[in-house]
Chain A
């Protein structure tokens, strides 16, 4: 009102028209600004895959409505791991994150970063750091991982703070050599906190194991899928009736044991009851 150009008050029509024009002008300008800001905000919701939020961070969409960018988590992190994003970073301006390959989370038991958060953008419900889900480690490259090449690197497994739960080494036959075992680092999402120690310590020039946002890292079974063996334990009996015992076609004089394979020179007691030893089951016809 004070700044509009001094139109003569007599011509009410003209001033009202000018007022409306000014109003529409301002509304359009601000509307345009708003549209730009809104689109930018939408873009900024996409957290780059290698940027990891502190423990307890809400889902990214909610996090950006809750984090006020005060930096208290940064200050209370005893290892100076967190950083507030600068405008030139591809993380939403002012929000805290870390990059595992540079410096991973040390998983303090008292979780000071979460305690420091005044808004709950880092969820105060998280009191056990082992339950945090900052991301999920994925062994992304089976071609360069030294354990896949048959070596016993094991570094990611050794440094894992939740060793033998979050990462296990699974022995598997090395087909290439025909006589060795490969010990494959295998991540278990139930236990992995996404701290990034494995990624940080991977000895390769580019880590073969990386922490990704859970959304990128996890597959999802169809809702209707059922795992037969779990259902069976759950029900206490087979859900397929009648349960058919597995029958092996074996060479004469052999028996077979799960995990051991063919065992030569064995006799009758290994053979399923009700069958004649020495004759392949398939040739024995129906059971009585």
Chain B
């Protein structure tokens, strides 16, 4: 019913451009700063951060390690050295607190690629496409762990577009662009939010990691909702909104509890009634 109107038009009119793009801008800054910190080393010789998202060393002291890669390594039969273990502990604690999929929307470089595809899909009015189950990613996650255990290698890292893109940007891209292009085209033509919302096991892993994380988007002023549907239209995981937004009658709290929510905050931006805000999962 809202086909005539552009998604976010109401918010734009009500709150102005910055007001209706605040979290988007902050998120892009976060993504670019994260990437930039990795890049100033190789590009300008300023070694603040060494490595990539799999493992990095900041200022030669702070280790950060990707728990999903380390889990695969563990299943492949290797026990890592101390530095990697400390790095994993820090990262686990961080994402456990702020929401696992904050990794997806605030850090992961593929997010900018798939967001671009989603934006173009809207722009060109590309609709429909293949039906892919949103549970597929958990199957893929299980599969990657099983293959790691069976082959004794971190097999998924051979083809993982997420780490490939990040590593490629920092250490030399080679043919990685072709794989990233494939992800982009998948999202643009095959199915909306296909990669991040349906297939990617990295996202699935971080979903599980953030299953009980306290920081959540909350539909705090849900009684003000005017059913404009803009939040559903803009959300990469729209199925997570409904229980929180429409759950008042069933006595469901206003916090979005689904771990698939990426805490990207686009719903906050796009709502002209300021229904959403960041809050705690215990919000009432």
Contact = CB atoms under 8 A, between A and B. Distances in A.
B207 interface: no
A139 to B, nearest CB: 33
B57 to A, nearest CB: 6
Interface stretch (A70-78, A129-137, A243-251, A255-263): A70-78
A218 B95 CA distance: 49
A86 B51 CA distance: 15
A117 to B, nearest CB: 7
B73 A68 contact: yes
Contacts of B167: 69, 71, 84, 94
A87 B176 contact: yes
Contacts of A30: 136, 139-140, 142-143
19 contacts: A2-B134, A3-B134, A30-B142, A30-B143, A31-B143, A45-B151, A62-B77, A68-B65, A86-B176, A87-B176, A94-B167, A117-B81, A118-B55, A118-B81, A118-B83, A119-B78, A120-B81, A121-B78, A124-B81
Interface stretch (A32-40, A151-159, A201-209): A32-40
Contacts of B151: 38, 41-42, 45
Contacts of B139: 26-27, 29-30
B153 A72 contact: no
B136 A67 contact: no
A68 B55 contact: yes
Interface of B: 41, 47, 50-52, 54-57, 63, 65-66, 69-70, 73, 76-81, 83-84, 87, 131, 133-136, 139-140, 142-144, 146-148, 150-159, 163-164, 167-168, 170-176, 178-179, 239, 242
Given A71-B171, A118-B84, A119-B73, A3 B52 contact: no
Contacts of A44: 153, 158
Given A37-B144, A62-B78, A86-B172, A68 B66 contact: yes
B119 to A, nearest CB: 22
Contacts of A33: 140, 143
Given A26-B135, A40-B155, A61-B153, 20 more contacts: A26-B136, A27-B139, A33-B140, A38-B155, A64-B153, A65-B76, A66-B73, A66-B80, A67-B154, A68-B55, A68-B66, A68-B80, A70-B52, A70-B54, A75-B51, A84-B171, A88-B174, A117-B81, A118-B55, A118-B63
Q: Which 7 A-B pairs have the closest CB atoms?
A: A86-B174, A65-B76, A2-B239, A70-B55, A41-B155, A64-B153, A66-B78
A38 B146 CA distance: 9
Contacts of B55: 68, 70, 72, 118-119
Contact of B153 (A3, A22, A65, A88): A65
A89 interface: yes
A120 to B, nearest CB: 4
B77 A65 contact: yes
A276 interface: no
A92 interface: yes
A34 B147 contact: yes
Contacts of A71: 50-52, 167, 170-171
A93 interface: yes
Contacts, number: 169
Chain B CB count within 10 A is highest, among A30, A72, A93, A118, for: A118
Contacts of B136: 26, 29-30
Contacts of B152: 61-62, 64-65
Chain B CB count within 10 A is highest, among A27, A34, A40, A89, for: A34
A140 to B, nearest CB: 30
Contacts of B178: 87
Contact of A93 (B41, B158, B172): B158
Contacts of B87: 118
Chain B CB count within 10 A is highest, among A40, A70, A116, A117, for: A70
A38 B174 contact: no
Contacts of B140: 30, 33
Contacts of B158: 37, 40-41, 44, 92-94
A62 B78 CA distance: 8
A96 to B, nearest CB: 10
Interface string A1-15: 011110000000000
A68 B153 contact: no
A34 B77 CA distance: 19
Contacts of B179: 87
Given A62-B78, A70-B56, A41 B144 contact: no
A14 to B, nearest CB: 18
A30 B179 CA distance: 19
A72 B172 contact: no
Nearest to A95: B157
Contacts of B65: 68, 118
Given A33-B140, A41-B158, A94 B163 contact: yes
